[in-house]
């Protein structure tokens, strides 16, 4: 019954099939964008440095990824903000 409701409302169960599919999608996006994991890590570290000048963020919860839609690749950043810093 719960699976039926999840399908109606568009929620997918987190089966190993879906997890593997998402991992493969991410690998393909990185490959198509020609971005190495090291470059993405460096970008994440640089974002932390710059944003930390203006606000206190939760670095451990910060997520940076590439997302693909048709022929476009987008950089997606989820940056939890703890509080804003005062002006310099």
3-class secondary structure, 76: strand
pLDDT at 1: 47
Question: Cα torsion at 15, 19, 24, 28 (round to 10°)?
Answer: 130
Would the pLDDT of 80 be above 60?
yes
CA distance 82 to 39: 26
Q: Are the CB atoms for 48 and 62 separated by under 8 Å?
A: yes
pLDDT at 41: 85
- For the segment 21-33, what is each residue's pLDDT rounded down to a tens digit? 777 766 666 566 6
- For the segment 29-56, what is each residue's pLDDT rounded down to a tens digit? 656 666 777 888 888 899 999 999 999 9
pLDDT at 23: 72
């Amino acid at each position: 019954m719960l699976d039926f409701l999840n399908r109606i409302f568009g929620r997918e169960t987190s089966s190993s099939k879906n997890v593997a599919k998402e991992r493969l999608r991410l690998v393909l996006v990185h490959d198509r964008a020609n971005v190495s994991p090291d470059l993405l890590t460096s970008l994440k570290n640089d974002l932390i440095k710059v944003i930390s000048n203006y606000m206190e963020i939760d670095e451990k919860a910060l997520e940076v990824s590439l997302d693909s839609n048709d022929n476009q690749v987008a950089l997606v950043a989820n940056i939890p903000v703890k509080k804003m810093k005062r002006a310099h």
